[in-house]
């Protein structure tokens, strides 16, 4: 194999099984995320992308399988070990998840204040630098409720990178945002990877954004990984579900019923 | 097998299935409550000794929110209750020409029972609901998960400061309520019952014994913690968006008041028979 294969894996997932009660969401997930690369996890709504992310950052324990982050199995870690590991991880949640009772500046400064013994003046400077990086300079004193959706997302990025993490997770960064703002966020992810050499995992279902940022693509379907590889291969992959995703074709449900209903309506009149 | 038979079987499955699910859900909720209480104890008493810190700053913030800011309403309600109590007592005691014992009644009833109870109900309405709403909103907005993803423990961050503040401010507010309530009695005694300020106050001091005060304060501590645990539990168990937050906030007040009354009955009986 080539040089890329020799790269170390930041995350390895083996035979991951996750269920909620009797509802099995992930049946058998195997995937790797390589250090310094941007991996995009694709999949339809409700196929378990956010659930997968939650397990990688240890918010829930899986029903089976192993998750190695930086070669250490997080499924057997206790809370202290997990807490230490998480200092090197940043997460941008689907709904931004800024602390609504704190200003933007305090949101970004919180991890620094709690996890480091830096001087307050240093923390202020670092906070300002992170906000500059996401294009929110001068917004330190705003409350989250005073920002637009796109600005909240960017503030969430600033908070996620405040501790200079080695791995950054983003759950649907551009969901619910207009195309210009969404493109801006893709740009931001690209810059973060280039400038800070972060390993980045992005969950999305937007193909355009995927082509722009991805080094590798992992596609989830029905609780399994059905494709894993570089984006060029994804484009030509023959798997029917992948083709459907690439060509943006709908599932066929409800059409017969709609047709029948329409015919019934017209025949009645 | 005919149609009604299979239908009956289906219904049976549905019925017992739903009972089973409910039982499982109930056990799950109890387990969660148990964990919440254990974690709270751990992060209050054990973790600080192991150098994991206690959030003193936010505890003080909570003490202001839960305690200091509640003083006006506690004063207002306790004063009114004191006046009401004085009038009601005087109405009965007049018949025996023993109106001066109004002082005893107001003082004892307020310190032993009404002070802790009314203060706890105010705390439940003001802070218990606030706690449930705050934590519930954070749950719905993924803020709790965001905390966890930064390596923070939500119990240490959110629950312990609130419980500490409640444990301290519950009894403090009750003391204020007791004093103001007795003040309400004094007010009525002087301006309406013609008992005379000095006579009434002397009588009050004579009637009040240490035990009454202490049992009242023990109750108030328990009530405040019940409100806190209920509020936090209702917050963390919010399901389904803003509507769920509203539902659990209301529930937190109803359940808190119910638990307060239960605990009141229990402790009153305990003190009555044992002390
Ligand atoms: N806390 C939960 N309890 C029960 N089911 C859940 C929970 N979280 C997610 N699910 C279920 O898991 C599936 C995947 O959800 P999710 O990971 O949010 O999907 P995605 O992010 O891909 O849109 C959904 O069917 C959802 O109903
Ligand atoms: Mg999702």
Helix (H, G, I), strand (E, B) or coil at A203: strand
Among A48, A54, A59, the mutation site with the greatest number of ligand 1 atoms within 8 A of its Cβ is A48
Between the CA of residue A206 and those of A52, A218, A223, A224, what are the distances in Å?
18, 13, 19, 19
Please, what's the b/e burial string for A67-98 (b: 16 or more CB within 10 A of its CB; e: otherwise)?
bbbbeeebeebeeeebbebbbebbbbbbbbbb
**The predicted structure's pLDDT at residue A253:** 67
Name the residue of chain A whose CA is nearest to B55's CA: A114
The residues lining ligand 1, judged by C-beta closer than 6 Å to any ligand atom, are A 20, 25, 43, 45-51
Tell me: do A258 and A241 sit in the same domain: yes
> A100–B141: do the CB atoms touch at under 8 Å?
yes
Cα–Cα dist B272/A44, whole Å? 64
Tell me: do A106 and A229 sit in the same domain: no
**Between B102-109 and B71-93, two packed helices, what is the crossing angle to 10 degrees?**
140
Tell me: do A64 and A145 sit in the same domain: no
Answer for the pair A98, A139: CB distance below 8 angstroms, yes or no.
no
> A97–B148: do the CB atoms touch at under 8 Å?
no
Which of B138, B143, B149 is the closest to A86 by Cβ?
B149
B104 touches chain A (CB under 8 A): no
pLDDT per residue as tens, chain B (275 positions): 455 666 677 777 777 778 887 888 888 889 999 999 999 999 999 888 888 788 888 999 999 999 999 999 999 999 999 999 999 999 898 888 888 888 999 999 999 999 999 999 999 999 999 999 999 999 999 999 999 999 999 999 999 999 999 999 999 999 999 999 999 999 998 888 888 888 888 898 888 888 889 999 999 999 999 999 999 999 999 998 899 999 999 999 999 999 999 999 999 999 888 87
Which of B134, B142, B151 is the closest to A97 by Cβ?
B142
Q: Which CATH number is A216's domain given?
A: 3.40.50.300
Domain boundary among A164, A185, A213: A164
For the CA of A45, the nearest ligand: 1
Cα–Cα dist A216/A42, whole Å? 11
For the CA of A172, the nearest ligand: 2
**The predicted structure's pLDDT at residue A1:** 43
The pair of structure tokens assigned to B255 is: 């359940």
Minimal C-alpha gap between A84 and chain B (Å): 7
Which residue lies with its CA nearest to atom 7 of ligand 1?
A20
**The predicted structure's pLDDT at residue A7:** 65
Domain ranges within chain B, ordered by starting residue: 54-274
Answer for the pair B231, B134: CB distance below 8 angstroms, yes or no.
no
Cα–Cα dist B206/B237, whole Å? 49
**H/E segment holding residue A219:** strand A216-221
Tell me: do A252 and A181 sit in the same domain: yes
> B151–A84: do the CB atoms touch at under 8 Å?
yes
Residues on chain B touching A83 (C-beta within 8 angstroms): 151-153
Which residue lies with its CA nearest to atom 17 of ligand 1?
A48
Tell me: do A108 and A77 sit in the same domain: no
Give the mean model confidence (pLDDT) for residues A35-57: 92
Please, what's the b/e burial string for A223-239 (b: 16 or more CB within 10 A of its CB; e: otherwise)?
bebbbbeebeebeebee
Tell me: do A94 and A76 sit in the same domain: no
Tell me: do A214 and A243 sit in the same domain: yes
Give the mean model confidence (pLDDT) for residues A102-109: 95
Domain boundary among A110, A136, A164: A164
**Number of independent structural domains in chain A:** 2
Residues on chain B touching A86 (C-beta within 8 angstroms): 148-151
Residues A126-135 pLDDT 10s = 999 999 989 8
Answer for the pair A223, A48: CB distance below 8 angstroms, yes or no.
yes
**The predicted structure's pLDDT at residue B223:** 96
Between the CA of residue B275 and those of B108, B220, B270, what are the distances in Å?
15, 17, 8
Q: What percent of chain A has pLDDT over 70?
A: 96
Confidence band for A6, pLDDT divided at 50, 70 and 90 = low
Predicted structure pTM score: 0.88
Q: Which is the closest atom of ligand 1 to the Cα of A47?
A: 22
**H/E segment holding residue A12:** strand A9-20
Residues A151-210 pLDDT 10s = 999 999 999 999 999 999 999 988 888 888 888 889 989 888 888 889 999 998 888 889
Tell me: do A77 and A182 sit in the same domain: yes
Residue among B254, B263, B251 at smallest CA distance from B225: B263
B192 touches chain A (CB under 8 A): no
**The predicted structure's pLDDT at residue B219:** 95
Tell me: do A49 and A154 sit in the same domain: no
Residues A58-89 pLDDT 10s = 999 999 999 999 989 999 998 889 999 999 99
Question: Taken in order B120, B125, B129, B130, is the CA torsion positive or negative?
Answer: negative
Which residue lies with its CA nearest to atom 2 of ligand 1?
A20
Domain hosting A13: range is 3-88+165-268
Residues A197-231 pLDDT 10s = 899 999 988 888 899 999 999 999 999 999 999 99
Domain boundary among A110, A134, A164: A164
Cα–Cα dist B11/B187, whole Å? 66
Question: Taken in order A224, A226, A228, A232, is the CA torsion positive or negative?
Answer: negative
């Amino acid at each position: 194999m080539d040089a890329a294969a020799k790269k170390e894996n930041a995350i390895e997932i083996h035979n991951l099984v996750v269920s909620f009660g009797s509802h099995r969401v992930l049946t058998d997930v195997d995937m790797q995320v390589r250090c310094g690369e941007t991996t995009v996890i694709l999949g339809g709504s409700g196929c378990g992308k956010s659930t997968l992310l939650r397990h990688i950052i240890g918010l829930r324990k899986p029903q089976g399988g192993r998750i190695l982050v930086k070669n250490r199995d997080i499924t057997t870690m206790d809370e202290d070990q997990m807490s230490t590991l998480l200092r090197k991880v940043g997460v941008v949640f689907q709904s931004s998840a800024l602390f609504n009772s704190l200003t933007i500046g305090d949101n970004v400064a919180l991890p620094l204040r709690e996890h480091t013994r830096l001087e307050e003046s240093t923390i202020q400077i670092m906070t300002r630098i992170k906000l500059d990086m996401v294009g929110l300079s001068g917004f330190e004193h705003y409350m989250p409720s005073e920002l637009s959706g796109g600005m909240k997302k960017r503030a969430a990025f600033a908070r996620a990178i405040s501790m200079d993490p080695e791995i950054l997770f983003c759950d649907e960064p551009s969901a619910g945002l207009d195309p210009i703002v969404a493109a801006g966020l893709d740009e931001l992810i690209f810059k973060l990877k280039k400038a800070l050499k972060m390993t980045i995992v992005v969950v999305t279902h937007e193909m355009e954004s995927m082509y722009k940022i991805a080094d590798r693509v992992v596609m989830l379907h029905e609780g399994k990984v059905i494709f894993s590889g570089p984006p060029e291969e994804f484009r030509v992959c023959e798997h029917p579900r992948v083709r459907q995703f690439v060509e943006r074709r709908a599932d066929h449900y409800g059409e017969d019923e709609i047709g029948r209903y329409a015919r019934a309506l017209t025949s009645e009149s | 097998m005919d149609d009604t038979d299979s239908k009956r079987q289906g219904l049976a499955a549905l019925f017992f299935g739903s009972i089973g699910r409910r039982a499982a859900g109930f056990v799950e909720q109890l387990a969660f409550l148990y964990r919440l209480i254990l974690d709270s104890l751990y992060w209050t008493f054990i973790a600080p000794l192991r150098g994991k810190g206690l959030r003193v700053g936010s505890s003080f913030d909570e003490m202001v929110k839960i305690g200091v800011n509640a003083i006006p309403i506690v004063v207002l309600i306790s004063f009114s209750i004191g006046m009401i109590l004085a009038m009601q007592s005087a109405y009965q005691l007049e018949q025996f020409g023993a109106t001066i014992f109004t002082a005893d009644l107001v003082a004892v009833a307020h310190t032993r029972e009404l002070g802790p109870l009314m203060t706890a109900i105010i705390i439940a309405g003001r802070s218990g609901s606030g706690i449930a709403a705050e934590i519930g909103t954070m749950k719905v907005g993924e803020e709790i998960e965001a905390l966890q993803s930064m390596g923070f423990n939500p119990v240490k961050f959110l629950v312990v400061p609130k419980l500490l503040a409640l444990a301290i401010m519950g009894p403090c507010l009750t003391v204020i309520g007791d004093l103001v309530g007795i003040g309400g009695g004094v007010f009525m005694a002087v301006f309406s019952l013609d008992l005379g300020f000095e006579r009434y106050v002397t009588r009050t001091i004579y009637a009040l014994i240490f035990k009454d005060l202490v049992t009242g304060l023990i109750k108030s501590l328990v009530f405040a913690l019940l409100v806190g645990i209920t509020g936090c539990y209702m917050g963390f168990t919010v399901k389904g968006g803003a509507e769920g937050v509203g539902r659990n906030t209301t529930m937190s007040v109803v359940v808190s008041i119910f638990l307060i009354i239960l605990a009141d009955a229990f402790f009153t009986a305990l003190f009555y028979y044992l002390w």
